Amino acid sequence: MPLPEQHLRKLGFLTIGLFDPADPAAGHRSTLEVIALGERLGFDSAWVRHRHLQYGISSPVAVLAAASQRTSRIELGTAVIPLGWENPLRLAEDLATVDLLSGGRLNPGLSVGPPMHYDRVGAALYPDTGDAEDFTYGRVERLLSFIAGKPATDSGGVEGFEVFSDRVEPHSPGLRSRMWYGGGSLRSAQWAGEHAMNLLTSSVVKAEDPDDPAPDFAAIQRSHIRAFRAHHPDGERARVSQGLVVIPTDSATPAQREKYAEYAAKRTPRTATPQGPGRMMFAVDLVGPADEIAERLYAHAAFREVDEVAFALPFTFQPEDYEQILTDIATRLGPALGWRPAA
């Protein structure tokens, strides 16, 4: 539980990796440069979002494979891979491969449920099996089983000159302990704990009590963290990473400060009440000097439950904005939270 006299143990950041459809390679290179900058600044982890049929990273595992060869220390994560788009066995192969290439630095974050806009993309994604696909937690359990090295077939052995394995290859022994679940509901937090995963909790949670006229984001998120740990075999030691949108302005130019303020102002109205039939609650973006942001974080009920974070970068900013924000997080906000950069 971080307090002003205690220390934030791990500091990370999350980027969506947007690109111009007229020049997508440049956007992907820019994402790799941001990750490399994070390592130079001493961040403990860099995470990428997953976007399908949009102008963002659609293949984070491939991007992180490239990042693994441009970095040597920083942990690399996905936040998150929606498993409804994936074949668990094939994904297990890719994840293990990248984990080995990175030297055991991969932190795959996952979620389940039908793919977004499934009524429109289902025929292209699963033309023959759409009605039979399992989009429940069982899909995660299959992936975890393959990652753990449990048998995927009973046909291992030698056939002529070919040698076959009964498990997914390559196998990366430590990867199972670095599997994360991106949960925004009480049920998903409990499930992640019961299955010994780590928990990614973001700036979106579900306000599940329809009788609560004024749900509090921080209190809801805290309840998820506590439920997760109550159901996890590691109890209070179970890992949780919090991901809020945090924009320190200490070294920002006047034009950047104005842009950041406008960005947050446009997003603030959605934080007042639960949104949509799912009653989703959004956290307020934290914009301002690092010392002020640190005070607001120490007052945040859920932040006081964690000792590692992955602050989310805004989606639509420019590379120079990300450089300023990451530099201020690493050199001003992180130290204000008791964090020390990695060597």
Determine, yes or no, domain membership for 108. Answer: yes
Query: The whole model's pTM is what?
Result: 0.96
Per the prediction, the chain carries an average pLDDT of: 96
In a domain, 78, yes or no: yes
For 152-167, what is the mean pLDDT?
Answer: 93
Does the structure show a pLDDT above 60 at 148?
yes
Whether 4 is in a domain gets the answer no
Question: What are the CA-CA distances from residue 183 to residues 41, 77, 178, 188, 189 (Å)?
Answer: 29, 15, 16, 5, 6
Q: What is the pLDDT at residue 4?
A: 58
Split into its structural domains, the chain has a count of 1
Full residue range of the structural domain in which residue 262 is found: 10-154+163-336
Identify whether 204 is part of a domain.
yes
- Whether residue 43 contacts residue 10, with contact meaning beta carbons closer than 8 Å, is answered with no
Q: Average the pLDDT over each of 125-134, 209-218, 320-329 and give the range with the smallest value.
A: 209-218
Per-residue pLDDT tens over the stretch 70-98: 999 999 999 999 999 999 999 999 999 99
pLDDT in the model for residue 7: 85
Residue 1 has pLDDT above 70, yes or no: no
Q: What is the mean pLDDT of residues 156-160?
A: 91
Structural domain contains residue 341: no
What does the pLDDT average to over 277-297? 97
- Residue 63 and residue 57 in contact, taking contact as beta carbons nearer than 8 Å: yes
| 1 in any annotated domain | no
The radius of gyration of the chain from alpha carbons, rounded to an integer in Å, stands at 20
User: Is residue 243 included in any domain, yes or no?
Assistant: yes
In a domain, 320, yes or no: yes
pLDDT value at residue 213: 84
Q: Residue 147 belongs to a domain with what CATH number?
A: 3.20.20.30
